């Protein structure tokens, strides 16, 4: 009680030699893709200040980033339709637990979502994936590519361009089939269509005439393709600025991602007419631009269309290509409406509901969970407001640390130690006692400290609270491990940040 009432060694050591953070080693692997505003990026490349999508479908600022050394189990969770992410066992994931009601599909929609630890989830449980919510309509944008001084002959282009159905469909065509040459004297905006897509080519010609007053400079047949070109460096630069250039580097400018759902249909229309394919059975979209593929997923989520996302090695020169399939009846019908194709499809056998939408989320089942041993760096973010972020497969919570321990070390002796905790009474008392017990001791002596010894010094702990005493022990080990990494480059041999066997031991008796 005394250690709880009057905890010793509370606080921070700003110039600590080792810092141990435990409680929630909630982290993901370095290559986990995170949705930010305007792009999707590996978590290791995200810095504080960046805005990322939260589980509420809105963008929030990252206040802190964390890198931890981790050795232990990693859960790779593969989600139907979306993809997979790898997390540490205790990372909280937004889901509903349907496995207890495996054959009651109708009951699933009534279950309450919650944050579950990765290790609690099972195959069949439903992941909640947020529909991007932020909407901002724009009527027109400035044509912000000035005329060069020496340019006397090029045609006048409008000062503003309306953001209407025409423009958005054209943007879709450019993103999928267009190219921009912006070198001096060769400025060209071009489109390549298959010979049986002449209707789309005509659409482009009329849109550009309506929006910019330009006529095509050339229309050529090459093999089975038709190449349409407009000689205008300014127009080419304008499109490059908004949507990138080169098939692998194109992406949708951020404001277009925020347009009202109804308007975005035109963008999808242009994109799908270019890079997509649609028939009575299925529909497929292929691109080699990673950004665009992940952006299109967001557009489809906003339309509440169920898709399947795949990454595949494409033959030829490109590294990877991204495939989006739409097979579900209602979604396929919606897509046909958007693209302007009539498809007549015989109703399929009714299969059990696999994925569905509500107002805020897309629900998709977990297909498989793989457990692997991992040793290396793992990452986490602290996000203001939503306290969550979105990977390519799920919404992840960013629970903060429950315990931090700071140590000062001189000649292998712990000269000072302090702790901070967001924890219950037992966590406070055990950390206070643990700091007292290791102060002035050698690193080896400190490492030999067990949670049992800490609990005994406190006069015992109730069984349900024993796990809190493990926190203190883990914090000491984490701090020493951090110190060793900082000084020798090598951590504790065989160090595991979160040792499950410890738990068995303490709960066993």
Partner 1 sequence: MKKIYLDYAATTPVEPKVVEAMRPYHSEKFGNPSSIHSYGQETRAAIEQAREKVARLIGAKPDEIVFTSGGTEADNMALEGVAFANETMGNHIITSSIEHPAVLECCRFLETRGFSVTYLPVDEFGVVSPESVRAAITEKTILVSIMHANNEIGTIQPIAEIAKEIGVRSSESGRKIYFHTDAVQTVGHIPANVDELGVDLLAVSAHKLYGPKGTGFLYVRKGTKLVSLIHGGSQEHNRRGSTENLTGIVGFGAAAEIAAREMGSEIKKMTPLRDKLIKDVLAKIPDTQLNGHPTLRLPNNVNFSINFIEGESILLNLDLEGIAASTGSACSSGTFEPSHVLKAIGLSYQLAHGSIRFSLGKHTTEAEIDQVVEVLDKVVKKLRAMSPLVKGGK
Three-state SS at 409: strand
State the residues that interact with partner 1 by CB under 8 A: 1, 4-5, 7, 10-12, 101, 104, 106-107, 110, 112, 114-115, 387, 397, 399-404, 419-428, 464-465, 467-468, 503
Minimum distance between the CB of residue 98 and partner 1, rounded to whole angstroms? 11
Bridge partners of 365, per DSSP, are 126
**Which one, 354 or 465, has the nearer CB to partner 1?**
465
Among left, alpha and beta (phi > 0; psi -120 to 50; other), residue 176 is alpha
Is the Cα torsion angle 106, 111, 115, 117 positive or negative in sign?
A: negative
HSE (side-chain half, CA atoms, 13 Å) at 103: 0
**Which one, 56 or 166, has the nearer CB to partner 1?**
56
**Which one, 191 or 363, has the nearer CB to partner 1?**
363
Minimum distance between the CB of residue 1 and partner 1, rounded to whole angstroms? 7
**Which one, 58 or 465, has the nearer CB to partner 1?**
465
Q: What's the CA gap between 378 and 372, in Å, rounded? A: 14
Question: How are beta strands 283-287 and 276-278 bridged, if at all?
Answer: antiparallel
Contacts of 327 (CB under 8 A, 6+ apart): 281, 282, 283, 308
Contacts of 14 (CB under 8 A, 6+ apart): none
Minimum distance between the CB of residue 389 and partner 1, rounded to whole angstroms? 14
Token output for 204: 């482009």
Minimum distance between the CB of residue 483 and partner 1, rounded to whole angstroms? 18
Q: What is the DSSP string of 139-164?
A: SEEE---PPPTT--SSPP--SEEE-S
Minimum distance between the CB of residue 460 and partner 1, rounded to whole angstroms? 16
Find tokens 């046909």 and name the residue: 336
H/E element, 66: strand 59-79
Q: Are 416 and 7 in contact (CB under 8 A)?
A: no
Closest CA to 144 of 161, 127, 156, 130: 161
Minimum distance between the CB of residue 365 and partner 1, rounded to whole angstroms? 19
Minimum distance between the CB of residue 378 and partner 1, rounded to whole angstroms? 19
Helix then strand then coil, in percent of the chain rounded to 5, is 30, 30, 40
**Which one, 60 or 237, has the nearer CB to partner 1?**
60
Catalytic residues: 399, 468
Minimum distance between the CB of residue 420 and partner 1, rounded to whole angstroms? 4
**Which one, 111 or 323, has the nearer CB to partner 1?**
111
Token output for 340: 């302007």
Q: What's the CA gap between 70 and 474, in Å, rounded? A: 13
HSE (side-chain half, CA atoms, 13 Å) at 39: 13
**Which one, 171 or 429, has the nearer CB to partner 1?**
429
**Which one, 39 or 499, has the nearer CB to partner 1?**
499
Q: Are 378 and 72 in contact (CB under 8 A)?
A: no
């Amino acid at each position: 009680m005394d250690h709880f009432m009057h905890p010793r060694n509370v606080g921070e050591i700003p110039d600590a030699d080792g810092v141990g953070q435990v409680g929630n080693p909630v982290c993901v692997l370095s290559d986990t893709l995170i949705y930010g505003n305007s792009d999707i990026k590996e978590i290791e490349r995200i810095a504080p200040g960046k805005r990322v999508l939260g589980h509420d479908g809105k963008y929030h600022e990252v206040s802190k980033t964390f890198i931890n050394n981790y050795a232990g189990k990693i859960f790779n969770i593969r989600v139907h339709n979306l993809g997979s992410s790898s997390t540490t066992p205790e990372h909280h994931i937004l889901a509903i637990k349907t496995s207890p009601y495996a054959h009651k599909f109708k009951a699933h929609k009534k279950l309450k979502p919650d944050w579950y630890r990765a290790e609690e989830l099972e195959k069949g449980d439903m992941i909640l994936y947020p529909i991007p919510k932020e909407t901002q309509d724009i009527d027109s944008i400035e044509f912000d590519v000035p005329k060069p001084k020496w340019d006397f002959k090029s045609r006048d282009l409008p000062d503003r361009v309306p953001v209407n159905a025409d423009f958005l469909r054209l943007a879709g065509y450019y993103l999928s089939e267009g190219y921009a040459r912006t070198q001096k004297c060769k400025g060209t905006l071009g489109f390549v269509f298959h010979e049986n897509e002449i209707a789309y080519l005509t659409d482009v010609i009329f849109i550009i005439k309506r929006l910019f007053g330009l006529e095509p400079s050339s229309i050529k047949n090459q093999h089975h393709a038709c190449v349409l070109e407009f000689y205008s460096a300014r127009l080419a630069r304008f499109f490059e600025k908004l949507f990138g250039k080169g098939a692998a580097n194109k992406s949708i400018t951020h404001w277009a991602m925020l347009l009202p759902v109804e308007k975005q249909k035109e963008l999808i229309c242009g994109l799908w007419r270019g890079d997509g394919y649609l028939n009575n059975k299925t529909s497929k979209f292929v691109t080699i631009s990673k950004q665009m593929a992940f952006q299109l997923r967001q557009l489809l989520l906003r339309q509440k269309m169920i898709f399947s996302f795949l990454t595949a090695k494409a033959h030829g020169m490109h590294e990877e290509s991204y495939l989006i399939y739409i097979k579900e009846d209602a979604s396929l019908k919606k897509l046909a409406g958007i693209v302007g194709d009539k498809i007549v499809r015989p109703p399929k056998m009714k299969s059990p509901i696999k994925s569905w939408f509500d107002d805020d989320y897309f629900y998709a089942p977990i297909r498989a969970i793989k457990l692997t041993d991992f040793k290396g760096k793992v990452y986490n973010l602290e996000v203001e407001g939503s306290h969550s972020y979105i990977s390519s497969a799920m919404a992840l919570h960013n629970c903060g640390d429950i315990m931090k321990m700071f140590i000062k070390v001189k000649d292998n002796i712990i000269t000072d130690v302090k702790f901070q905790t967001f924890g219950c009474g037992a966590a406070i008392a055990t950390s206070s006692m643990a700091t007292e017990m290791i102060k002035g001791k050698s690193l080896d002596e400190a490492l030999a400290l067990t949670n049992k010894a800490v609990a005994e010094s406190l006069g015992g702990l109730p069984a349900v609270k024993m796990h809190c005493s493990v926190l203190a022990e883990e914090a000491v080990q984490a701090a020493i491990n951090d110190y060793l990494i900082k000084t020798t480059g090598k951590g504790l041999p065989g160090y595991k940040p979160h040792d499950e066997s410890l738990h068995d031991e303490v709960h066993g008796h």
